[in-house]
Amino acid sequence: MNICVVGTGYVGLVAGACFAETGNDVFCVDKDEAKIARLNRGEVPIYEPELDDLIARNVKEGRLAFSTDLVAGVQKSNVIFIAVGTPQDEDGSADLSHVLDVAGAIGRAMNGYKIIVDKSTVPVGTADRVGQAVAAQTTHDFHMVSNPEFMKEGSAVNDFLYPDRVVIGANNECVAEVMGELYAPFVRTGNPIIFMDVHSAEITKYAANAFLATKISFMNEIANFCDKVGADVMMVRKGVGSDKRIGPQFLFPGVGYGGSCFPKDVRAFMRTAADQGSPLRILQAVDEINNQQKVIMVEKLRRQFHGDFAGKVIAIWGLSFKPQTDDMREAPAKYIIRSVTHAGATVRAFDPAAMEEACKPYNLKDLIDTGRVKLCENAYDAAEGADALLVVTEWNEFRRPNFERVKGLMREPAVFDCRNLYTPAKIKELGFAYYSIGRDTL
């Protein structure tokens, strides 16, 4: 098939490369000229395991191309994916301006029948709006499909090639069949392609993310209760998660979820439901707990410093919102760093993948430029002269550091473990003050 993917971010780039890998001719379009220039030089603008090889191989074999030319992409393709961003708008709703811009441009470029697929995460009813925006610009026939994406950053290629399920929302049988053929190579092990109507598919994506976010906030709230009564949330987690009806995943307490999806999707889902007069009350609590959770470690730190951050040096291990990605959108590390530097501390930070990302204006550029945050060579370098070490992202390389060495480097041996990576008794035995989530007695 000839496919055009509009938007070469985390989703569009991975989807485009994976569709090419199964033999399709894929034309990836983005309005960001610098990004397309990098891709055409053979550079991959994001950190995502396995993506570099996949792109290089498919470009070499002539199945994958990158361009800013949307008209060319639309005209040579039968299936066009919209995979542009849907960031949070001021009122919490999803900002659909990028999606609708692309819809209009597709309409203007059309030279015949097309299948237009919403891959971006969008509120129920958006495919109808996209369809109207396309129809306003063309007399050619087309069909709309909703095909939400469930990949996880950090394992996006693997998730796309071997999905748990594929959701196709199509109100036309022939179109559903074409989409089924396109995805058939990814579900050879028998995982389902679930066909449904367009509206149900749009809701499925938000409901899935909202449920996962709910699990996280639930466990975080239980963790805070454990702190109050001197229980161990990690034991509670095991006891709860071994029930097959509940399952062990997404029950890890921490400093709250972040990233480009859960925070904005929970809020957008709430907004849409409220607008329809059917408020999702449970999600209100999920969002509130998540916001509060980021504050908890800063408060533990404040107690350690008797309320005075002035002159304190804080080492931060991990900047990305989770391991195996460089994505810092809504990363808890950003909130923590802003809070402690605002209170008078300076930060020495290290992340295995997100150092370049950290320097961007929407991340930590201002604090780096003014010397409040120093980016360090490695984890040990970050610990040098620190009064506290906060482990914010659970990268593998932070799991078993040489703590004797860390202690020798720090001014005060205090570890604040935002992911419960370490065994409290062992680390305290080494002479560290140690704080974690749901295992401290407050």
Q: At its nearest, how many Å lie between ligand NAD and the CB of residue 183?
A: 16
Out of 32, 232, 412, 440, the residue judged to bind ligand NAD by CB under 6 A = 32
Stretch that binds ligand NAD, among 7-15, 232-240, 343-351, 421-429 (CB under 6 A): 7-15
Stretch that binds ligand NAD, among 30-38, 138-146, 282-290, 296-304 (CB under 6 A): 30-38
226 annotated active-site: no
Contact yes or no for 82/117 (Cβ under 8 A): yes
Stretch that binds ligand NAD, among 53-61, 77-85, 275-283, 404-412 (CB under 6 A): 77-85
**323 is a contact residue toward ligand NAD (CB under 6 A):** no
Report how far residue 6's alpha carbon sits from residue 28's, in angstroms, rounded to the nearest whole number: 6
Supply 323's token pair. Answer: 């391991």
Catalytic residue among 261, 359, 376, 418: 261
Kindly compute the dihedral angle of the four CA atoms of residues 298, 303, 306, 310, in this order, to the nearest 10 degrees. Answer: -10
Out of 3, 12, 357, 379, the residue judged to bind ligand NAD by CB under 6 A = 12
**48 is a contact residue toward ligand NAD (CB under 6 A):** no
**86 is a contact residue toward ligand NAD (CB under 6 A):** yes
Report how far residue 254's alpha carbon sits from residue 74's, in angstroms, rounded to the nearest whole number: 44
To which residue do tokens 């305290």 refer? 428
**153 is a contact residue toward ligand NAD (CB under 6 A):** yes
Non-local (6+) Cβ contacts of 90 within 8 A are none
Give the 3-state secondary structure percentages of the chain, helix then strand then coil, rounded to 5: 45, 15, 40
**88 is a contact residue toward ligand NAD (CB under 6 A):** no
Out of 120, 147, 293, 436, the residue judged to bind ligand NAD by CB under 6 A = 120
**121 is a contact residue toward ligand NAD (CB under 6 A):** yes
Tell me whether residue 328 or residue 421 sits nearer to ligand NAD (CB atom): 328
**101 is a contact residue toward ligand NAD (CB under 6 A):** yes
Kindly compute the dihedral angle of the four CA atoms of residues 214, 217, 222, 223, in this order, to the nearest 10 degrees. Answer: 150
Report how far residue 439's alpha carbon sits from residue 389's, in angstroms, rounded to the nearest whole number: 18
Report how far residue 68's alpha carbon sits from residue 137's, in angstroms, rounded to the nearest whole number: 20
Report how far residue 240's alpha carbon sits from residue 243's, in angstroms, rounded to the nearest whole number: 6
Which residue type is seen at 8?
T
**31 is a contact residue toward ligand NAD (CB under 6 A):** yes
- Cα dihedral across residues 57, 60, 64, 70: positive or negative: positive
Could you tell me where the beta strands, DSSP code E, fall in 30-173? 64-67, 79-82, 114-118, 142-146, 166-170
Stretch that binds ligand NAD, among 25-33, 313-321, 350-358, 377-385 (CB under 6 A): 25-33
Stretch that binds ligand NAD, among 98-106, 186-194, 293-301, 302-310 (CB under 6 A): 98-106
**151 is a contact residue toward ligand NAD (CB under 6 A):** yes
Q: At its nearest, how many Å lie between ligand NAD and the CB of residue 158?
A: 13
Supply 83's token pair. Answer: 């995979």
| Residues assigned a catalytic role | 261
Sites of contact with ligand NAD (CB under 6 A):
6-12, 29-32, 35, 83-86, 98, 101-102, 120-121, 149, 151, 153, 260-261
